[in-house]
Amino acid sequence: MGRHPTVNKNLLPRMRARKRHGGKIYYYYDAGGRPRKEIPLGSDYIAAVQKWAKLNVSPSPILPTVGYAITRYLTSPGYAELSTGTQDDYGFALDKLTENFGTAPLDQVKPAHLTLYLEKRSKDCDEWKGSKHRAQREVSILGMVFRYARSIGLTKNDPKESITLKKLPGRKKIYITDDMLDAVYAAGSIALKDAMDLAYLIGQRPADVLSMSAMNIKDDILEYRQGKTDTPQRIVIAGPLADLIKRIDERKAANKVHSLFLLVDERGKKMTKAMLRGRFEAARTTAGINGKDFQFRDLRRKSGSDLRDQKGLDAAQDLLGHQVQAQTEHYTAARGKIISAIPIRGPKTGASKA
């Protein structure tokens, strides 16, 4: 049976968490035996759960928990078919949900529990790092887990079914001014400056920006497919973009570590999502700008809006990779169109001739 854990009780059966290397969490599978054998699962929770599922061949528990249902979903074909960006988003949410609901039996989770979670998760405090958007997103994903659990016969319960989530305002009205951008840029490290420049110049989503590598450069063209929509893009490397890639190559050449990825940290290692978030949030705080007013993803909207002003809606649509122009019109609407005032007052209709 093995010993019962006294900490990290939200983890799956036989999964253990250990702090290593300056506080970083690593996961292990407790295989038991004497001496006890622990199989490394890595530091990424979602990948660790998937490895755990292959090692843990015990039958379904008598009272399946939310954590067990999440594990089954993470190893399902449906999850494997999701894009990398969607998996990252789901992974962040499922990690939070496992922490708060992991040990709860599926049949015992009630709508009141989800309502309480919504309230607590929406609070702006150090413990929860609240966000109404994240709270609603996570409850929606929990509802998806329950629907999946129902489909494979783990439960008949669906606490999300009776909860209506209010539509919250998106970020379509957010436009990052040059002054805001310059303030955060000035406070950032050289690695963050590279990331902000690349995100603005190519107008792509953060996940796509982070995935750019030397392998995407062919004959002075940056070629790739958008992770979310699989839309193929080909951007000419010229002007400021060419200068940026040259600057990045020169900085990378000075490091002992050589990465194919365009965005690297100050020591030459691949820039991860967590690295980027940490550097951006630190620079934004130094610049005195609220997180609600400027997020890294807003650089894509600013890029499209600025290009629309400079070269028109068609150019913005091409850069952003939208299928229809109405989508670009909506996406870049925060700043409004550039229009002309009426040049001169004309004669009144039907006015008599002198």
Residues 184 and 285: their CA atoms lie apart, in Å, by 8
Most confident range, picked from 72-76, 88-92, 121-125: 72-76
Beta strands in 160-231 (DSSP E): 217-218, 221-225
Kindly tell me the burial class for residue 284, based on how many C-beta atoms sit within 10 Å of its own C-beta (0-12, 13-18, 19 or more): buried
Looking at every residue in the chain, the average pLDDT score rounds to 87
pLDDT reported for residue 351? 53
Between residues 283 and 47, which one has the greater pLDDT?
283
Cα 223 to Cα 34: distance, rounded to the nearest angstrom: 54
Pick the residue with more confidence: 325 or 84?
325
- Residue 34 tokens, joined: 């004497």
Residue 313: per-residue pLDDT: 92
pTM of the model as a whole: 0.70
Question: Model confidence over 237-256: pLDDT tens digits?
Answer: 999 999 999 999 999 999 88
239: helix, strand or coil: helix
CB-CB contact of 58 with 72 (8 Å): no
Angle at 329 between CA 325 and CA 332, to 5 degrees: 130
pLDDT, position 262: 96
pLDDT for 1: 40
The answer to whether 41 and 35 have CB atoms below 8 angstroms apart is no
Give which of 199, 194, 139 is closest to 163, Cα–Cα.
139
Residue 161's pLDDT is what? 92
173, pLDDT greater than 70: yes
What's the average model confidence in pLDDT over 167-193? 90
Question: What pLDDT band is residue 297 in, cutting at 50, 70 and 90?
Answer: very high
Cα radius of gyration (the chain): 25
- Average pLDDT rounded to a whole number, residues 126-131: 56
In this predicted structure, which of 159-173, 198-212, 218-232, 309-323 has the lowest mean pLDDT? 159-173
Which structural domains are found in the chain, ordered by start?
1-56 (no CATH), 59-168 (1.10.150.130), 185-294 (1.10.443.10)
